[in-house]
Structure 1
Amino acid sequence: MPYWLMKSEPDEFSIQDLEQAQQARWDGVRNYQARNFIRAMAPGDEFLFYHSSCATPGVAGIGRILRGAYPDPTALDPESPYFDGKSDTATNRWSAVDVGFGERFSQVLPLSRLKREPALAELPLVQKASRLSVMPVTEAQWQAILSLR
C-alpha cells in the first residue's frame, strides 16, 4: 500500500477539522509534481497529515484516501483562492482527492525531531528547500515516523 505525506496549514484545514468532519475534499494543490502524486493516490492509501506554516510544523496525525483523483472544482471557481483561469471543464489541469480521518496524534511530531531521525534522511520533507505539499513516503519512513509517537 502506498503511503503519502500531505501538508496543510492548520488555520486553513487541520487534523482536528478532519477529525470533526470525518471526510473532506483535499483540493487547492497548485504544483505539478504534487498534483501528479495526487493523481497516483488510490482509495485505501494512507497519509501523514502534516501541519505547515505554523508555530510547530510537524506530523499531526493520519488520514486515508477515500476517493482517487478527480478534477479539482476550486480551479473553476472564480471566488476560490485556488481559481485557475487557464483551466476549464474540458481541460482542468488540477486534481483533488477525498480523504478520511484516521488518527490524531496526542502531540504533533515536530519537523525538528523528524530531521534528527537517520531513517528519514531521504524523505524530501527533511531535505533543504523541499516545499512540496504532497509527497510519497516509503514504508520504512512511514514506520520510522510512527515509531516516534
Structure 2
Amino acid sequence: MAYWLFKTEPDTFSINTLRTQNSSCWEGVRNYQARNMMRDDVKLGDLVLIYHSSCKKVGVAGIAKVTREAYPDHFQFDPESDYYDPKSTQENPRWIMVDVEFVRVTERLIPLATLKAMPELENMPLVKRGNRLSIMPVSEAEWTAILSKETLPKRS
C-alpha cells in the first residue's frame, strides 16, 4: 500500500462532499506528471490525504482510499465539461482518473503552516516553494508525521 496527497478546491469538491457521496471519481487532473503518477503508481487500497487548496483554510482535511485504479476520464470527451480536451480520443485518451472512497475527516484541518514547520516533511514536495502538482506521493513516515498533528496539543 502506498500513500498519496490529492489537492482539491473545497468550493468545487471537499472532504465533506466526498463524505456525502461516500465515493467519487477523482477527475480533472490535467498535468502530465500528476496523470502519470495516477496512471502508473496509484493502486487499489492506497490511502489518500485530501488536501484543501486555493481557499482561506488550506491544509489536510481528511482521508480517502483508492477503490478503482486508473481508467479514462470521461470528462475529456464532453464538450460541455470544463475538462474537455478536443485532442483526446476514445482510442487514445490523454487523461485518466481513479475512484476514491471516504474514510474519515481529520480531527481538525492540519494547516499548511503546520506542515511547513515540521522537519520530518522538509523533503515533501508540498512544502517546497513552487510545487503545484495536484497529486503527490507521501512516504509512510510523512503520513505518520502529518496525522500526528491531527489533535491540538493539550494546554497545561
Letter in 2 for 1:30: R
Distance in 1 between residues matched to 2:106 and 2:138, nearest whole Å: 18
Kindly state the Cα deviation for residue 41 of structure 1 after the two structures are TM-superposed. Answer: 1.0
Aligned CA-pair RMSD? 0.6
1:42 positional shift: 1.1
What is the total number of aligned residue pairs between the two structures?
Answer: 149
**Deviation of residue 46 (structure 1)?**
0.3
Counterpart in 2 of 1:131?
132
Residue 15 of structure 1 aligns with an amino acid whose one-letter code is I
The answer to whether 1:142 aligns with 2:143 is yes
- Quote the Cα distance in structure 2 between the aligned partners of 1:13 and 1:106: 19
Larger Rg: 2
Deviation at 1:37, TM superposition (A): 1.1
Q: Following TM superposition, where does structure 1 have runs of at least 4 consecutive aligned residues deviating by more than 2 angstroms? A: none
Please give the per-residue CA displacement for 1:90-136, whole angstroms capped at 9, x wherever unaligned.
11110000100011013210101100000001110000000000000
- Give the share of equivalent positions with the same residue, in percent: 52
* TM-score, reference length from structure 2: 0.94
| Residues in 2 aligned to 1:46 and 1:140: alpha-carbon distance in whole angstroms | 14
Partner residue in 2 for 1:26: 26
Structure 2 counterparts to residues 65-84 of structure 1, below 5 A? 65-84=66-85
SS at match of 2:141: helix
| 2:4 counterpart residue number | 4
Q: Secondary structure at the match of 1:142?
A: helix
* Deviation sequence 1:34-77 (CA, Å, 0-9, x none): 00111121110000000000001100010000000000101111
Gaps (5+ residues) in structure 1? none
